[in-house]
Each structure stands twice: as C-alpha cells, then as structure tokens.
Amino acid sequence: MYKLTTRNEKETIELAQNIESEKFPNMVICLEGDLGSGKTIFTKGFAHALGIEEDITSPTFNIIKEYPNGELPLYHMDVYRLEGRVDELGLDEYFHKGGVVIIEWSDMIQEYLPDERLEIKIKVLDDAEDARVFIINPIGRQYEELCEAVL
C-alpha cells in the first residue's frame, strides 16, 4: 500500500500521468472517494496523458463513456447510480477489451471487480482546500510492478 499527498489539481494530474506512463492493456483502476474528492480530475490527467483530447467529464448519467482515440481505449465508468445492479452492463467485457478501465465509486460494485486491479482511495484533507491523500493499493503482480516503477 502506498500513500501520497497532492496539494492541488496540478499534482493530482501529475500523479495520474505517472501511473499512465506504466499503462498496459486490460488495466483496471478503481477510484473511491467522496463527492468532489478528485476522481474525475485524476481521470482527466490519465486521459490526456493517453492522448485523448476530448473533454473528460464524469459519466454520472451515462454510466460508461468510451474514449477510443488514445494510445489505448479508455472506458470511464461512474457506477454511483447503479446501486450495485451491474448485471446488464457487461462489465466483464470491458475488463478484456484491451483498453484501460477507470471506475468511479468502485467500492459500490466490489464483488464485480476483477481479481487484479489498482485501487485508489482519495481523501480530502480538512486543513487544505485542494490537498488530497491518495491511498494506492496494487492487487496483482502487474499493479505492484507499476507502483514500484512510479511511486
């Protein structure tokens, strides 16, 4: 487990870019954190590092947004509104499409997540408006190697 503090959006984006630099096909990143903690900011940084030029917004109402135009396809999910009902989404298919899956509110669908993944919990620091603590838990060899390389 790794613990990092970012002091502003720029540092959060840099963290995402560092993780993106070690990306691989079928990578799954699970983001947890309160509303406004920086899940979408992290995803924006990751997407732009992938070469995706579209504006990245939270897929709250779409559930899944696909961005096929980067170095690898990006599948950005927000499962908050699903209330754990993901059976009809074909989630498993996304985990094997050769792209990168980033899931916001992943803690709500824990039992559907792949065995190997990168879990990132984001906590807002009370004493500093833009400061965040990232608790990064690599599950599986590929994710452990990624963390050793960039954190």
Q: What is the pLDDT of residues 86-134, one digit of tens each?
A: 777 788 899 999 999 999 999 999 999 999 999 999 999 877 778 999 9
pTM of the predicted model as reported, rounded to 2 decimal places:
0.95
Is residue 58 within 8 Å of 78, Cβ to Cβ? yes
Q: Is the pLDDT of residue 81 over 90?
A: no
Residue 145 parent element (H or E) = helix 141-150
Q: Across-strand partners of 135?
A: 3, 121
How many domains are contained in the chain? 1
pLDDT confidence of residue 104: 95
CA distance 28 to 99: 9
Using a pLDDT cut of 90, give the percent of the chain over it: 80
Q: Which of 18-22, 30-34, 54-58, 111-115 has the lowest mean pLDDT?
A: 54-58
Q: Quote the Cα angle for 141-146-150, to 5°.
A: 150
46 C-beta neighbours (distance < 10 Å), count: 25
* CATH (domain of 113): 3.40.50.300
pLDDT confidence of residue 49: 98
Domain that holds residue 124: 2-150
Is residue 136 within 8 Å of 15, Cβ to Cβ? no
Is residue 134 within 8 Å of 122, Cβ to Cβ? yes
Sort strands 100-104 and 27-33 into parallel, antiparallel or unpaired. parallel
Nearby residues of 59 by Cβ (< 8 Å), 6 or more positions away: 65, 76, 77, 78, 104
CA distance 31 to 53: 22
Q: Which residue has the higher pLDDT, 81 or 46?
A: 46
Mean pLDDT across 44-67: 92
Q: Which residue has the higher pLDDT, 83 or 17?
A: 17
